[in-house]
Every structure is written in structure tokens, then in C-alpha cells.
Structure 1
Amino acid sequence: MNKATLFLTSLLLFGITACKENREAHITRLVQEWSGKEIQFPEHPVFTIQGKDTIEAPTDTLPYKIVVYVDSTGCMSCRLQLVRWKEMMATLDSLAAGKTSFLFYLCPKDLHEMQYILRRDAFRHPVCIDTTNAIQHLNHFPEEDNFQTFLVGKDNRVLAIGNPVHNPHVKDLYLSLISGKKISTQAPPATSVQLEKSEVELGTFSRKEEKTDSLRITNTGNHPLVIHDVVTDCGCLQAQFDKRPVSPGKDLLLRIVYRPDQTGYVNKTLRIYTNVEGGILTVRVKGKVE
């Protein structure tokens, strides 16, 4: 196992220390299995802009590719997180421009819903809507969401596995490998916080209505509070906040924005990566869309 693989394994295990040993062994096995493995691509993939305008496949001549596969299981918007992918692309463009292509292979249950999500999130990067699930038949990707995104080299062999928009530590790894620079979210000294609430209730509202709320986080410790990232489990849920460190005794206001993409009950999660013991604060967001 090479150094990058060892490092990635430790990142993927980070935060699941309460899990059983067999879960950790399973993750280690998957990372070992896919490290250096060649990704196979369909011979004639069709890429489109927002599921309509056909376009040439992204260039195959760049040193790196990030391959994103999303199957039809569960909530497509939740798993895609297109807004965060746009942020990831912008970060890479500023850090290591012209080195990485992004290949999105999507296998949705509902094409119209997929087109709606692409339009809603103003995502204009080419995607392959793989209605026959051809890329999965060729590769037999793992079932877990966290193991369906890959950083591959020019020879299409896997350099790293993990979803950088779901885990800031995996994001740091991808950025480090692509840029050749050490990128690390170094945690400052730990502090303590008081959450105004651990559950945000949005109430009942229309599908056409954008719902907002806020969450106050008070730094009750002796060191500055630093929010490294806020990760949601749905592209329809976003968090906005001031990224400057929060002094002891001061507050941070986290603004929560929910843009519904379907009716029904809302039960989402915000994971706040910060310098508290354990590294993560978890907040539930609930409501009902009619």
C-alpha cells in the first residue's frame, strides 16, 4: 500500500472510531482493492449540457481525471451536491489550472428530474447521462457513495478514492495530489462551543418556496473557533457563514437555506467540520414540503 493509499485510508476511517472493527477492515480492503486499478470507460459516451445539448466528451489529454459515478439509488440531488462540485472545480482552477478533467456519469431513474436538478443548480459542465449504466457494468464500482468517486491519472489508474465534496479531508488529498503541494486542513487548538439548537425545524411550506433559518454557535472555549467546512447531505440544502475565526465568547451565525426539489418530509443533516473535540458538529434539519 503506497503512502497516498495509507493516508486516504486513515482519512476515510477518521470520524468512525465508534464503528465496529469489521467496518474499518471493509474500508481498508476497498481502498487497497481500488488503488492502482484501471477505470474502464464506455466506447461512445454521450455528454450533454444539462441533459439537452450534446457536446464532445471532456478532453482526455490532461494529467488527471476526477470520475464521478452516481447511480439511481436514493436521492439524486442529495448525492450529487452539484453546487459543491462547482466550488471544487473553481478551487482546482485557481490552484492547478489545466490539469484536471471532470467526468460525471449519472444513471438517474427520472431523466426529467435529473435535468431539473442540473438547471436548478446552474450546472453547465458536461455530464454523461448513462441510461444503460454502462460504466458500472464495465467496472463494478462499490455500492457505497463514498467509494464511487475516483482521482485517476492519465493512464486511467486510480490514485485516490473518495468523494471530495462529502469530506474535506479527502478534498485536501485530491488537491495535494493534483497540485503537487501539501494541502492540509490543520486544526488549530481545540475549543468548545454551545449550539443554539441541534435541530432546525423549518415547518410546513410549499415546494416553490425557499426556506431559510439560522443557527447561532457560541465559542465557549479559550481558543478561536474555526469552521473548516459545512457539508450537507443534499444539494437542496446549503449553509452560509463568515469564514473568519470566532474569538472566545463571540458568536457565529450559520444561515441555512433549503430549496426543495420534491414534496414530502424533510430530514437532512448538516455536518460542521471545526476545531472542537471530535472535529464534527451535527445538526438535523426537518420540515415538510407540500
Structure 2
Amino acid sequence: MKLLVTGASGFVGRRFLEMIPADWEVVCLGRSQPASLTERWIQCDLADQKSVESAVKQVNDETFDSIVHLAAFVPKTAADDTLDNARLGNIDATINLLTHFGEKSEKIIIGSTAEVYDQSKIHGPITEDNVVAGSSYYGSTKMASELIAQSYAKKMNKELTILRFSVMYGGYDPIARAIPNFIRAAKAGDDLTIRGAKVLRDYVHIDDVARSIICAVNANGAGVVNIGTGRGISIRETAQVIVNSMQSISRIIVLSEDGGSDIVIDISRAEKLLNYHPEVFFPDKLKEMEKLYK
């Protein structure tokens, strides 16, 4: 199995490379060199045309069993979520990848997000048929990149799988999500201030995210597929579990009980088409995360 992988040095890509079978050959395409020294790396900024053209020359006439596109702009904080950042990192990068490398594989796998769903219209577990309408520039541009990939796959007769990941956790997550924020606060003994205490979240561990990508590589093109656990836990319970686990003196301050829609993923399509079955459920492996944050 030979793969062209983008975003290999990121949160998802790094764990994916750590978990793939030893006999898979990987060519990494990205701005930063992956932590592993065993994979071939071609420096490339997918949002920059000249950089892409240089990378194309280095790949030359190679072909791949799958292209795995994990490179994306993901804002680390709300302030980072600007239109220019999101357009360059999600839309432009996807267009350049497909335009210059898409012909080198019959199968394309793209990492996406449950943030493409219209949270105001979510009722019950989220299926792939739920209404999409990104509530952020990140979500909107990921949705746009999905549509571009779908059009490309249809026109060029490619197998396509789009993996919409739920709320991820595990390892050292550089994004200011709830779990890392709660861990940092609990370690410092600071108050954990929460809004929407009753709101449910489906936390999918990075190991299961990586496993889902491996499943997609091994399966036929499945279209849009949700990746989560199918289980929801409230924001209040999330905070309480972390405080208890760390034996912290932090208090939990609830500013509101409601506020936002539940994000709990229906994974039946992933189970059927990808043979994906989650193995880690929050708070599993929480202790591993606690050691990584200061």
C-alpha cells in the first residue's frame, strides 16, 4: 500500500502515521517535517502555487493507492478563525491538491469535521443527512472543500471518502477545546467556568480517528461518513470527571445550563461501509493527556 499524505505533522496526521501497518509506504506532503523519520517528506505549502509546482516535480510520475488529505486550517482559538486563514488553508489547499495530485490516485480520503453541520437544526444523533451550514469560517470552508472534492471525484471518476470527525481528544491537542482547557485549569487549581452545562458532546479519541482513516484506506469510496463514538457526555460531567481524575481543588462554575445543540454522532454508516468501530470512550486515556499539559 502506497499513500500520499498531507498534514502528516498535525494532530491527526501524526497519530495516523504512528498507527499504520509497517509495510505501508508513505510520501508526506506538507510545510513541516513529520516527527517520524521513516517517511519520505516533500516540503510543500498547498496554499502556495509555486510551492505546489515544485512538489509536483519531486513526485514526478509516481502513483498512489490512496491520497489522504489531512492538512487543514484549524483555528487554535476563536480569534484565529479569519476568512483569509480559512480560505487559504482549506479551500485553496484542497483545490491545489486535487488539481496537481488528484490524477495520481483512484482513491481520495479527506479529513473533515462535524462543525459543518447546522447546529440550530440538530435534533438527536447527527446523521450524514443533517443540514450543513458552517457556523464558523473554519466550518464553512471545510464544507466548501468537501463540495469541491465531491465535484472533482464525480467528474474524474474517483473513489472518495470524506470523514467528518466529531470532537476529538487525546495526546497533546494544540487546539483550545474544552478538554485541554479543563485539564490546564484543573492542573493550576483554577475555576472551570462552563456554559451550556447540559449540552452533550461526542468525544472521539485520536486513536479511533486514526483507525477510521486506516479503515477508509482499506475500504471502497464511501462518500460522506461521520466518525465518533455514538455516545454523548455533558459539558458539566466532562469538567467533573477531569477535576476528580486530577484530584484538583478547582471549582466548577456554571454560567448557563443550556446554550447550543448536542453533538452526538450516528456512526452506523461508518460501521457498515468502513467497518469502523470505536475502541476508546471518554474518559479512557485521560491520564495520558494530563501528563502532557502544564
- TM-score normalised by structure 2 residue count: 0.32
Q: Which has the higher helix share?
A: 2
TM-score, normalised by the number of residues in structure 1: 0.32
Say which structure is richer in strand: 1
